[in-house]
Structure 1
Amino acid sequence: MVGKALKELPQDQIQLATKFCCFKPNGYGQIKVKGTPEFARECCEASLKRLDVDYIDLYYQHCIHSTYFNHIPIEELGIGIVAYSPPGRGFFGGKAVVESLPAESILATHPRFNGENLEKNKLIYSHFSNLTAKLACTPPQLALAWLLHHGDNIIPIPGTTKVKNLENSIDSLAKKLTEDNLKEICDAVPIDEVAGHRNYIEMQYVDIDVNHSEGSTKGQFDSGSDSNHNIYTPQVSDEHKPKMGQQFLSLDEAREFYNAYAKEAGFSVRINSSKRSRDNSEILRKEYVCSKEGITSTRVNSKRKRRRGLTREGCNAKFTVVKSKSGGYVVKQFVEGHTHSLTSPQRAHLLRSHCSEAKKSLSQQLSTVNIHEVQTRGIQSIGCIERDIYNHERNLCREMRGHDEELLYEHFLSEQEKNASFIYDIKKDEEDRITHCFWADAKSRLAYNSFGDVVVFDTTNDTNRYGMVFATFIGVNNHCQSVIFGCSFLSDESTESFMWSFEQFKKSMSGSPPKVIITDQNPAMTKAITHTFPNTVHRYCIWHILNKFSEKLNEVVYRNHYNDFKQCIWDSYSKEEFELKWMEAIGRSMLHDNTWLQSVYEMRAKWVPVFVNHVFSAGMTNSQRVETFHGFFKRYVSKRNSLVDFIICFNRVIAHQRHEELIADHVDINEKPKLKLPHEMENRMAEIYTHEIFYEFQDEFWESFFYNVELATESGSCVYKVYRRNKSGCRGREIVYEKESDYATCNCKKFKSEGIPCRHLLAYFVKMGTSFLPQKYILNRWTKTAKYERVVDDLGIEINYFSDNSFISRRTRLFQLASNVIESVAFSDKDSKIVEEGLSDLLRRFKKDKAITSCGSINDRNSTKEQVYNEPPAVLAEECGERLKDGKEKACDPTKEKGRQCNGCGKVEHDHDKRNCPTLKNRSSVDANEDSNLLDLNNGISPQ
């Protein structure tokens, strides 16, 4: 379109400028930076062709690899440098940049404007601002004047949208700086003290191979795989980067330095080779390499059943030290570039060479992760007897009684202070007693933005001593793992309670309702969903319905006919086929008058697969996922918990789940799935999909090669028959290709319901000679990059999991420092005593400065709450709602108080059933004696 517009304008009046460098490999995934000469020519030629012009006046490259900095004579070649910082994206754009930066500003996402980095950089800004008063100018004017002083080829970006600010920027042209002024500026802004990168931490550079001879490059960009052609340079501060000739006192010091560098860079280290002296007395040379060095063996292990990815990618990064004459070790070789993407700082602790540091930190936080005392070498290691612990817990519960609701409210306030994206709401009755509450943290809200298309809503009881119903909104992420979107406490399971919970959920998610919601057959839920989410598809849980067959049918009918109903439900290809099979199953079982079967049949449009599989459900056809979560969750809680106890346990469960998600993200980056076929489609999808989704795609793709595809009819749309070769009795599928929309669908509807192409569609694509799966068949929610998106709420404020509050980062840093100190002195009595005395002195000093509130009584607190809340009224679980437990649930219920009835004697007692009934045992003994006497009489023997 731009090219066509240019044709209508006079060429001598147009200055044509365009740019290159940032790109997405294959058009998807993370933005990367590449500036090789070949890539520049390739992009320039593409621009000339698209614009249909003979030349470009200004060609602009975004980023330059540091290798070029000292080798390109830019002034001689007439090359200019566009300085987007310091004013454009730096701290010198004005006082508002560091004091009142809007939350929605793009700067808020950059490392220099976050957390501790922001606090450190504010000091530099204040030093720089003091100079502006002396030189009678503003900070932006002084920054621009400093840039312009360095040459006419420096083109600064003022970074303003207001005319007034632009005029002030133009005034900087008249500002001339002396050598003394330049020195004062350099002293005020020391480059080594600037905290944080100017770009995103995870931005990766795909550039030249710095290890090749000067002038050579790694070659053209390979669209299929970048493991052999692209170089990723870590963004690490200079003081942490190894340098040629750098000296170390020992090998341990060299290893620790390189491992620390690797952790900041985002890769793992291992030893590759060593060389010893002839008498084997000392190490003369040692080489450390990236853990992805080398190539994974292709040998097949028939015993290995777990799918494991490939971790070796032929990476050339290495660090070699040799013995020096002084007795230490010196850096002989340092290869910086990697042939693979690097791990983010949040996942660096999962890398093997950095795990030891995590284990050290873990020992300092046993109580917060619920480690039992036996794992800390017993109760005696704590410094008290077991009875002391029980007494303390009893006294603490007594002290908390009557204050539970206050602590819950203060907990929510505290979470919101730590992160403004934490959201909650509490509803109370006329006596100020809590009846409902809802909460969702930033991580949950971010997850909903990516995976909130399908939500499972369910409730559970026996999680707190008030009998309040615990309700959860759960989804599935791109690793097929459960994720929590939000939670509620409800006083009952009425329509009004569900409507309140749904409204709070919708409000917390910026008013965006889910596309599909799955629940059990609770009439109150159904009514509330119809009112609150009128445009949301509501489905019933098929797992609950199938589970009730054993309860609603007698034992003989269930054993003889359940498979008929099951086959009817799962194996019907069409609605008409389901109707026919259902009537046949009813006829064979003689259950025409069964009211429960009639009721589930009437609502078949909400749960039978053939009626609902045209709607995307992310593979969650039922709420059994939630039942599994609740089963796992109840290992942590009991009906004796207070609300605060519950929240603490709940946070532990959530932390466990999110750590599993972090591990899955880490595996996706650091391992490549093994391919089964030499096909471009499989290779590309291994790069796009997460491992869990790719393996499902891989199974379907493998199966597709066993199918034949034949054209049946052709008109406005083409109909193809797809059937499995050499398998009799296998029913075929039908694919319809619409020529106008260029879209193919299969009547199995796997892609529509699960978002993963079925084997029939893949067989069609292979038949048509398609090398890559079309983009329209790739759902972003199943890709590795599904979560990398900026999210704002309904007020336009960005939802950020990594809050700018420094409490968490400060606490983590102190734990790590304490862990390192303890590890260093643990084996020395003298050093340990010094540390103990020092910590004791610090603790005494802090006690004088500030009272430790955690040791005070709850009643003595100076509460800062603005609301008054009383404890919730007790709720009877039987009166909570209309959901009935089936026989199996009742039999497995560990919380019932009455015990169970013995089928032998009829008594109802705990730990008493037919297997250990004393009445039956006595009766068996009598029967055995009678049988023995009868046998003796038959044999002519008189009983004694």
Structure 2
Amino acid sequence: MEVDGNGEHVVDGIEEQAFNETVDNDSCAVEVNDKEPYTGMKFGSQENAHSFYRDYAKVVGFGISTKHSRRSKASRQFIDVTYACTRYGKQRESIAQNPRPCLKVECEASLRIKRNCDGNWIVHNFIKHHNHELFPGYAHYFPCHRGINKAQKHCIENWQHAGVRTSQIYDAMAKQHGGYENIGCLEKDIRNHLDKGRRLALESGDANAMLECFMHMQEENPKFFYAIDLDDEDRIKNVFWVDAKGRDDYQEFGDVISFDTTYITNKYKMPFAPFIGVNNHFQSRLLGCALLSDESTHTFTWLMKTWLRAMGGKPPNAIITDQDRAMKASIKEVFPNTRHRFCLWHILRKVPEKLSHVLSKHRDFMIYLNICIYKSWSKQQFEDSWHEMVEKFQLSRDVWIHSLYEEREHWVPVYMKDTFFGGMSTTQRSESINSFFDKYVCKKTTLREFVEKYKVALQDREEAEMQADFNTWHKQPVLRTPSPFEKQMSMIYTHEVFKKFQVEILGLSGCRIVKEHKDNQVTTFKIFDFQKNEEFIVECDVSKEEISCICHLFEYNGYLCRHSLMALQAVGVFAVPPHYILRRWTKDVRSKHHKRKKKDVCSSKERYDHLYENAIELLEEGSLSFESYDFACHALEEALKQCVTINQSLKIDKEKVSHNNLHEKPLRDPQEKKTKGAPRRIKSGIEKGRKRTSNDKKKVRIFPLYQNFYNDLILT
């Protein structure tokens, strides 16, 4: 900065990047008619003058930059500005080995404006002539003519979140604007914009960036819930969040939950722990997510209590996890009346490790084990088969076998036949969600990036659900038999559930009644299933329309088995009784949630998309005549002023509201854990449970939906 002789401050212009490509052009003059500036021309502001000269330069084919400017010593406002061609000045001598090209040729083309007493800006001097070639067809390459507006930023970020590459984004924008020269930016500008956004997120700290993201998501929809668990050093230990859709889904599909923590996703190696439910299309639904620092009983207890509070205090009927001591203890404490089941697949995959000495001697051991697990139709039958197996293979002193038997009520199917599990016996639902997230994240993903990717993955899941809803309502499934049961349920069940029920219908042809016995109102049938090569007992009370099969398929999966259908036919019932039709499997269970009303809260993206559609219609109608054009312009100006006023008022109101205690001092990022691969989750019977230490006492800060809930949500 320099000071001139009159005491006024003069700011030297910053030289912009020169256009460094040589393009043949026979003409250095372009006719611009009324768009050409002239001495005495008046502008309402400096910005208007700059925009006018920049537009003129783009038409003619050169770039501009600020050569110098002057402020008033009294008011500190600009009063004199000179814009010049980017090729003004002399070439500089460089001693560098690889000097950058300099295209300075002492071009004198410029525009000088001064502010008068009434605040207007007047063109004091205009030099039109250039001493170099002009490039009107390549003007969009000059830095001064490039920029990304708000609408373009919104589209670019949406595409980037959806996984679209930068080159594809640039191509799509070219088609949208009618050519690359009309976009207003280059591909590298798009790349720089995305890189800048990532740098800003990292510079501010992952923890605080994630918190800001959560707050923004809650502003978009007040039903978004999140909680952050801190240690004594204000480092993040555990994070939990659930979106509005997940909370709504839980009300209909929260009867059975799958929970798994074997997925490590981010650079801090914090296990990703999703709560998974299954909807009426047998699709997995995210009912909450957490990033955990460890897998202790205290951490799981904090998570379960937080999740339960987010779901309105309504515990699930059943939950499936892997065989973990800490998890078992926390579930017993938080969900004392919930049926807890261990993942059967996780248990069976431990057999080669725990019983390698048995498998090496007895190749038929797995056959006996599978018969014991899957062919036992009563508790007594299982226990007899188990003891017989233990004695046959001399496993009475095996600690692991003993521990499995002690916990048989948590994993043996026959002990849970009276509990609805939605057809789930393993944590496969959680693991399918984990593999689904692999498309969006990697182990170097930051906390902020993970939450952003989570939103994209959630949108994909919701789209799949909407597609399934459409198919269910608008496409009739093909009937494969004349059975009245099949016709009845084809009108009620969703397609995926009906396909499973249809398997039972087709299985009727492979069943026959072996024996029938009637005792008062109850009729007992022995039905032989040729496909399973087994005999099943079915009891039917016609007066109460009650039926029960020893296979307990209805209790477990929620639809009647072929054996029950065979018995109903035998007693003259040809329609599934209403109390054997679970509402959660029907077509219309979600209809009330999918009919969004205008008054419902929508996200900023939904608001943007809605306004964008209306704006397109306005463009089409407003451009048809001068009258409609003038009216549209006036209406847009008034609407814009009103929106700016409203948003400024809301911003002021928010600033008046005191921030919660998380903003009193910044959060610290979690410490990176030194782990090798996924954590080992399955514990044997001889492994000891983790002990609580004095460090278990932590600070917990929860962010509920409404301010008056804050005190209630402090967990200790």
- Please give the range of the TM-score, normalised by the shorter of the 2 chains: 0.5 to 0.7
- The counterpart of 1:496, out of the listed 292, 295, 298, is 298
For 1:748 and 1:636, the matched residues in 2 are separated by 41
Residue 779, structure 1, aligned to residue 590, structure 2: no
Q: Which residue of 1 aligns with 2:229?
A: 427
Seen in structure 2, the aligned counterparts of structure 1 residues 877 and 602 have a Cα distance that, compared at 3 Å, is farther
For 2:453 and 2:258, the matched residues in 1 are separated by 22
C-alpha contact (below 8 Å) 1:454/1:515 kept by paired residues: yes
Residue 715, structure 1, aligned to residue 520, structure 2: yes
For 1:376 and 1:399, the matched residues in 2 are separated by 22
For 1:645 and 1:405, the matched residues in 2 are separated by 11
For 2:456 and 2:679, the matched residues in 1 are separated by 31
C-alpha contact (below 8 Å) 2:269/2:675 kept by paired residues: no
Task: Give the aligned CA root-mean-square deviation in angstroms.
Answer: 4.3
Per-residue CA deviation, residues 367-401 of structure 1 (Å, 9 max, x unaligned), is 23222346457799796577994896388336623
Seen in structure 2, the aligned counterparts of structure 1 residues 549 and 384 have a Cα distance that, compared at 3 Å, is farther
C-alpha contact (below 8 Å) 1:467/1:874 kept by paired residues: no
2:456 is paired with a residue of what secondary structure?
Answer: helix
For 2:670 and 2:600, the matched residues in 1 are separated by 36
Residue 549, structure 1, aligned to residue 351, structure 2: yes
Could you list the runs of 5+ residues in structure 1 that have no partner in the other structure?
A: 1-360, 792-798, 825-833, 854-860, 887-944
2:590 is paired with a residue of what secondary structure?
Answer: coil
Q: Which residue of 2 aligns with 1:814?
A: 611
Q: Which residue of 2 aligns with 1:911?
A: none
For 1:566 and 1:821, the matched residues in 2 are separated by 68
Q: Which residue of 2 aligns with 1:538?
A: 340
Q: Which residue of 1 aligns with 2:402?
A: 598
Aligned partner letter, 1:561: F
Q: Which residue of 2 aligns with 1:369?
A: 162
For 2:394 and 2:186, the matched residues in 1 are separated by 69
Residue 618, structure 1, aligned to residue 422, structure 2: yes
Seen in structure 2, the aligned counterparts of structure 1 residues 446 and 388 have a Cα distance that, compared at 3 Å, is closer
For 1:489 and 1:419, the matched residues in 2 are separated by 22
Q: Which residue of 2 aligns with 1:660?
A: 464
Per-residue CA deviation, residues 456-501 of structure 1 (Å, 9 max, x unaligned), is 1111443222233322111100100001111122222111111111
Q: CA deviation at 1:649?
A: 0.8
Q: Which residue of 2 aligns with 1:753?
A: 556
For 2:615 and 2:597, the matched residues in 1 are separated by 29
For 1:885 and 1:424, the matched residues in 2 are separated by 29
Q: Please say which of residues 472-481 and 672-681 is displaced more in the overlay.
A: 672-681
Residue 766, structure 1, aligned to residue 569, structure 2: yes
C-alpha contact (below 8 Å) 1:688/1:784 kept by paired residues: yes
Residue 438, structure 1, aligned to residue 231, structure 2: no
Structure 1 stretches of at least 4 aligned residues deviating more than 6 Å after TM superposition: 361-364, 377-382, 385-388, 799-802, 818-824, 861-864, 879-882
Q: CA deviation at 1:626?
A: 0.7
Residue 406, structure 1, aligned to residue 208, structure 2: yes
Aligned partner letter, 1:641: T
Seen in structure 2, the aligned counterparts of structure 1 residues 526 and 666 have a Cα distance that, compared at 3 Å, is same
Q: Please say which of residues 554-563 and 571-580 is displaced more in the overlay.
A: 554-563
Residue 734, structure 1, aligned to residue 537, structure 2: yes
Per-residue CA deviation, residues 164-212 of structure 1 (Å, 9 max, x unaligned), is xxxxxxxxxxxxxxxxxxxxxxxxxxxxxxxxxxxxxxxxxxxxxxxxx
Q: Which residue of 1 aligns with 2:307?
A: 505
C-alpha contact (below 8 Å) 1:421/1:800 kept by paired residues: no
The number of equivalent residue pairs is 501
Residue 804, structure 1, aligned to residue 593, structure 2: no
Aligned partner letter, 1:708: R
Question: Which structure 2 residues correspond to residues 508-657 of structure 1 after superposition, within 5 A?
Answer: 508-554=310-356, 556=360, 560-657=364-461
Relative contact order: is structure 1 or structure 2 higher (C-alpha 8 Å, sep ≥ 6)? 2
Q: Which residue of 1 aligns with 2:266?
A: 464
Per-residue CA deviation, residues 651-694 of structure 1 (Å, 9 max, x unaligned), is 11111111101100000110011112234332221111111111
C-alpha contact (below 8 Å) 1:437/1:488 kept by paired residues: yes
C-alpha contact (below 8 Å) 1:492/1:875 kept by paired residues: no
For 2:565 and 2:387, the matched residues in 1 are separated by 35
Q: Please say which of residues 653-662 and 764-773 is displaced more in the overlay.
A: 764-773
For 2:480 and 2:205, the matched residues in 1 are separated by 61
2:539 is paired with a residue of what secondary structure?
Answer: strand
C-alpha contact (below 8 Å) 1:472/1:488 kept by paired residues: yes
Q: CA deviation at 1:429?
A: 2.8
Q: CA deviation at 1:570?
A: 1.6
- The counterpart of 2:671, out of the listed 874, 877, 893, is 874
Aligned partner letter, 2:526: K
Aligned partner letter, 1:550: P
Seen in structure 2, the aligned counterparts of structure 1 residues 362 and 807 have a Cα distance that, compared at 3 Å, is closer
Could you list the runs of 5+ residues in structure 2 that have no partner in the other structure?
A: 1-153, 175-179, 622-628, 649-654, 684-716
Question: Which structure 2 residues correspond to residues 208-287 of structure 1 after superposition, within 5 A?
Answer: none
Relative to the length of structure 1, the TM-score reads 0.48
Q: Which residue of 1 aligns with 2:123?
A: none
C-alpha contact (below 8 Å) 1:572/1:578 kept by paired residues: yes
Per-residue CA deviation, residues 555-609 of structure 1 (Å, 9 max, x unaligned), is 6358553233223212222223323333444455444443323222221111111
Seen in structure 2, the aligned counterparts of structure 1 residues 469 and 823 have a Cα distance that, compared at 3 Å, is farther
C-alpha contact (below 8 Å) 1:419/1:801 kept by paired residues: no
For 2:288 and 2:388, the matched residues in 1 are separated by 44
For 1:809 and 1:597, the matched residues in 2 are separated by 55
Q: Which residue of 2 aligns with 1:900?
A: none
C-alpha contact (below 8 Å) 2:170/2:187 kept by paired residues: no
Aligned partner letter, 2:342: Y
For 1:372 and 1:523, the matched residues in 2 are separated by 45
Seen in structure 2, the aligned counterparts of structure 1 residues 695 and 822 have a Cα distance that, compared at 3 Å, is farther
For 2:549 and 2:163, the matched residues in 1 are separated by 50
Seen in structure 2, the aligned counterparts of structure 1 residues 786 and 466 have a Cα distance that, compared at 3 Å, is same
For 1:788 and 1:849, the matched residues in 2 are separated by 37
Q: Which residue of 2 aligns with 1:85?
A: none
Aligned partner letter, 1:368: H
Seen in structure 2, the aligned counterparts of structure 1 residues 681 and 881 have a Cα distance that, compared at 3 Å, is closer
2:381 is paired with a residue of what secondary structure?
Answer: helix
Seen in structure 2, the aligned counterparts of structure 1 residues 667 and 363 have a Cα distance that, compared at 3 Å, is farther
For 1:368 and 1:782, the matched residues in 2 are separated by 33
Q: CA deviation at 1:741?
A: 4.2
C-alpha contact (below 8 Å) 2:256/2:317 kept by paired residues: yes
Q: CA deviation at 1:750?
A: 0.4
Seen in structure 2, the aligned counterparts of structure 1 residues 635 and 431 have a Cα distance that, compared at 3 Å, is same
Aligned partner letter, 2:607: R
Seen in structure 2, the aligned counterparts of structure 1 residues 663 and 455 have a Cα distance that, compared at 3 Å, is same
Q: Please say which of residues 733-742 and 379-388 is displaced more in the overlay.
A: 379-388
Per-residue CA deviation, residues 338-391 of structure 1 (Å, 9 max, x unaligned), is xxxxxxxxxxxxxxxxxxxxxxx9999522322234645779979657799489
For 2:155 and 2:565, the matched residues in 1 are separated by 47
1:787 is paired with a residue of what secondary structure?
Answer: helix
Per-residue CA deviation, residues 85-126 of structure 1 (Å, 9 max, x unaligned), is xxxxxxxxxxxxxxxxxxxxxxxxxxxxxxxxxxxxxxxxxx
C-alpha contact (below 8 Å) 1:433/1:872 kept by paired residues: yes
For 1:728 and 1:823, the matched residues in 2 are separated by 65
